[in-house]
A and B are shown apart, each in its own frame.
Chain A
Amino acid sequence: MRVGFFLAVRQLGRTNKGTTALIIFVMALTFLNLVFIGGILVGLIEGSTTTYRQLYSGDVIMSVLDKKPYIEDSPAAIAVAESLPWTRAVSARYVAGGLLEANYKDRTNYTDPPDQTNVLVEGMNPEDENSVTGIKNHLVEGSYLEPGDIDSVLVGSTKLYQYSPIDTPGLKTLKNVTVGTKVRIDIDGNVREFTVKGIVKSKVQEMDSRVYMLDTSVRDMLGRTDNGVNEIVMRLDSQSDADLAKQALMVSGIGDRAKIQTWQDAQPKAIKDIEGTFAMLGNIVGSIGLVVAAITTFIVIYINAITRRKFIGILRGIGVDAIAIEFSYVLQALVYSVMGTAFGILILVYILEPYFAAHPIDFPFSDGILVATFSGTLIRAALLVLASVVAGYIPARIVNNQNVLDAILGR
């Protein structure tokens, strides 16, 4: 062991610095390969859940109980939500099913089906909604609703052909609808004409499939006088715990009148399923990455050992035992992998994660970020180091097992 350490320290310290740097760089890239694809897969879903929380559910969402038309005693629930110490903003939403119709003025043949599609109509206070979801930043055309815009609507992009060019029986989209276009909205037989003021496009299906108008407009169309809303969404202070807020709402008795969910509870099942699927994919890709890492290390150490085959032969020739030589190579592999992994972690933490946080990958249904949890990164680093040690031992063993004389004479 002592001689192995003696040899390893000197070989590491006196090998060409460029070669050492290259090996460490290769190890760092190997480590990043191990965490990157899995991290992006997880980040893709993380981006999706983050966007869902940011744009739709808020930190806590209260919604209608089954078989109820609205949240009973909504003003009291809103008041409780606003009174919680962690609450930063609250928005109350009226939500009703309806029909959105366009191009009706150009319709000459009334035997043709109308150009219309099913929508969820959301009535809200523009200021409140924006303070919870930041919807204002997700208009691709036009401008946001103002308090006096009683005849204006925002339309979700998935309802418009130019943003969602599919036209199947279940997913009808409207053509030729843009800012300024007149549309008709039918809620329970009450039909009113509105002007499209803006088009909403985010990466949250629930948000992009709605039509937005002022709460007063929906109330008029619904003929509702009791202030009963369908959804109440809350934005908490950034460090606050959504579970704590949910608990407080439950304690106040709102749980009897509304379904209270944290943003995690409210995630659609599809997202949860995809999350599980991607986690599995991440593990599979990670396993392949680990094999690639082990092979890379094997090649690096093997080349190192092969180029020193003669010197290994000399050491064996003068009586240095195989264990000392193998230990020196394992130690070198350990140092290369630890340094490479440490370098990789630095790149990950200080360059890649901040970069992807600032410049998410534009996936169709989410802004993908790079997610590398502390424990996940640590496990991968440990696995890589372990694989490197094994991969470092094998070539040293192979070279060591060769005929001493052949190694010395270079045969």
Chain B
Amino acid sequence: MITVEHLHKEYQSGDAKVVALHDVGFSIEQGEFVAITGKSGSGKSTLLYQMSALDYPTSGSVVIDKTDVTRLSKNARAEFRLDKLGFVFQEYALLPELTALENVMIPLLMRGVSLGEAKDRAAGALRRVSLGDRLGNRPSQLSGGQQQRVAIARAVAHDPTIIFADEPTANLDSETSKTVLDIFLDLHQNGQTLVMVTHEPEYAALAERIIQLSDGEIVSDKKTR
């Protein structure tokens, strides 16, 4: 489903050339829940951004459902992300002027879903993350955990092929983190493909496979069960 081959990413930092990813390659099957771990600066977030078509690698390829996303134009990548991918960012990334319901409706409306259907589907997604009673609340009226659940609802509402989560529990306390991870596990059990970046070994252990990075290279790739 996802095939990463010879992925290389380097960038300039002042006069120095920094290699963030070096010859990274692996595959992910449909329905897998993969955790990418590593220390700070190991390249795990960079890898996620290349895989999720948010950034262009220096070289190498990322093929998702037979499409090499590294070769897509800017607009085609946006369209691809809309059709195939769902995102959960570390800082929730919700639009402050929109209610929880409206934030979740955005990707649906972009895909041409009617306003009424978008409302129904967004409300359904929010109910799945136990926020059925918070549809009309704006982000500022929600706790961090609730905001992250809205972000998850937005990521799943349009039934993406893969969900990418970048440190989704980094700003949450352990109790709330557990709630968020339970939602991921629930999604995984329903066949959703998930790729999650985390630096917490305990949370990574919940995934069925852990890819560990160090200095931009894969140092281990193992199944947890």
Contacts and interface: CB of A to CB of B under 8 A. Distances in A.
A319 B54 CA distance: 10
B95 interface: yes
B87 A317 contact: yes
Q: Give the dominant DSSP class at B's interface.
A: helix
A372 B75 CA distance: 47
Nearest to A406: B55
Interface stretch (A9-17, A124-132, A245-253): A9-17
A321 B75 contact: yes
A14 B85 CA distance: 29
Given A2-B109, A3-B106, A318 B82 contact: yes
Q: Which interface class (under 10, 10 to 19, 20 to 34, 35 or more) fits B? A: 20 to 34
A318 B54 contact: no
Interface string B140-169: 000000000000001000000000000000
Given A10-B102, A311-B96, A3 B78 contact: no
Contact of B97 (A15, A317, A403, A405): A15
Contacts of A318: 81-82, 87, 106-107, 154
Interface string B66-98: 000000000100111111010101000111111
Given A14-B97, A314-B95, A405 B49 contact: yes
Given A14-B97, A311-B95, A314-B95, A319 B89 contact: no
Contacts of B102: 6, 10
Interface of B: 49, 54-55, 75, 78-83, 85, 87, 89, 93-98, 102, 105-107, 109-110, 138, 154
30 contacts: A3-B106, A3-B109, A6-B109, A7-B95, A7-B98, A10-B98, A10-B102, A13-B97, A14-B138, A314-B89, A314-B93, A314-B94, A317-B87, A317-B89, A317-B93, A318-B82, A319-B78, A319-B79, A319-B85, A319-B107, A320-B78, A320-B106, A320-B110, A321-B75, A321-B82, A324-B110, A404-B54, A404-B55, A405-B49, A408-B93
